[in-house]
Amino acid sequence: MSRAEFPNIHVSGHPLVRHKIRLLSDVKTDSKLFRELVAELTSLLIYEATVDLPLRQVVFRTPLEETTGYEIDARIGLVPILRAGLGMTEAALDALPGSEVWHLGLYRDETTHRPVSYYNKLPKLCPDDLVILLDPMLATGGSATAAVQTLKDWGAPRVKFVGLIAAPEGAQRMLDAHPDVECFVSLLDRQLDENAYIRPGLGDAGDRMFGTFADH
């Protein structure tokens, strides 16, 4: 699958990303290492997703003299989709410490595979210039496209999606629904199976992150 097929999807080619996503997908990776890898990959993908942030010039002092430099000239909001998006939030906030964090709760109905909203803690008006949506997996794209629409309805002037892996079906759904939203991922996988899981995939990101396999 080429970049031309999904112009909205940025698949990182960085060697560190390719190395870490392989470890993340490995069935032998336990929850502790899984969480660490999620954080590391999030940091790397945030770096790529923010390459075009606007800057303003400022005057400041080094220990030796006065000089000029740059600082980010944008308000940034981070919106993790609960629950799996929580595992990406701290790393994103470390990279963008001045950001505000808002939360959306969506889950996939296991029968219909459609997104169900159960939590929305957005303030009345969007205060940000850029909102970065965080969710490890872009599978069917149902939750992500619904979340993007919520953010647009909220008044977000610009939205980007940062995830870990995507399926072609999710990439296409996002492209159809929100062609203006750039998506940054570590891997574009082969396909969805009959249960709407990404293949080869990495399993359920939330379960692997939080060790909740016994719930199923």
- Give the model's pLDDT for residue 4: 65
Domain enclosing residue 34, as ranges? 9-54+73-210
- Arithmetic mean of pLDDT, 80-84: 85
- Arithmetic mean of pLDDT, 86-97: 95
> How confident is the prediction for the chain on average, in pLDDT?
91
Residue bearing the bigger pLDDT, 40 or 103: 40
Q: What angle do CA 133, 143, 157 make, to 5 degrees?
A: 40
Domain count, the chain: 1
Q: Flag whether pLDDT at 215 surpasses 50.
A: no
Among 29, 129, 158, 207, the one annotated catalytic: 207
Percent over 90 (pLDDT), the chain: 76
- What CATH number has the domain bearing residue 191? 3.40.50.2020
Task: Tell me whether residue 67 is in a domain.
Answer: no
Q: How confident is the model at residue 2 (pLDDT cuts 50, 70, 90)?
A: very low
Active-site residue 204, yes or no?
Answer: yes
Task: Tell me whether residue 59 is in a domain.
Answer: no
Query: How many CB atoms are located within 10 Å of the residue 195 CB?
Result: 8
- Give the Å distances, CA to CA, from 154 to 39, 64, 131: 28, 46, 11
Task: Tell me whether residue 62 is in a domain.
Answer: no
Among 35, 108, 129, 158, the one annotated catalytic: 108
Q: How confident is the model at residue 213 (pLDDT cuts 50, 70, 90)?
A: low
Task: Tell me whether residue 160 is in a domain.
Answer: yes
Active-site residue 26, yes or no?
Answer: no
Q: How confident is the model at residue 41 (pLDDT cuts 50, 70, 90)?
A: very high
Task: Tell me whether residue 60 is in a domain.
Answer: no
Among 18, 112, 153, 180, the one annotated catalytic: 112
Encode pLDDT of 117-147 as tens digits.
777 888 999 999 999 999 999 999 998 999 9
Predicted TM-score (pTM) of this structure? 0.90
- Arithmetic mean of pLDDT, 50-77: 97
Task: Tell me whether residue 100 is in a domain.
Answer: yes
| C-beta of residue 128 within 8 angstroms of C-beta of residue 76 | yes
Token duo for residue 197: 């899981």
Task: Tell me whether residue 215 is in a domain.
Answer: no
Task: Tell me whether residue 139 is in a domain.
Answer: yes
- Arithmetic mean of pLDDT, 55-60: 98
Encode pLDDT of 140-192 as tens digits.
999 899 999 999 999 999 999 999 999 999 999 999 999 999 999 999 999 99
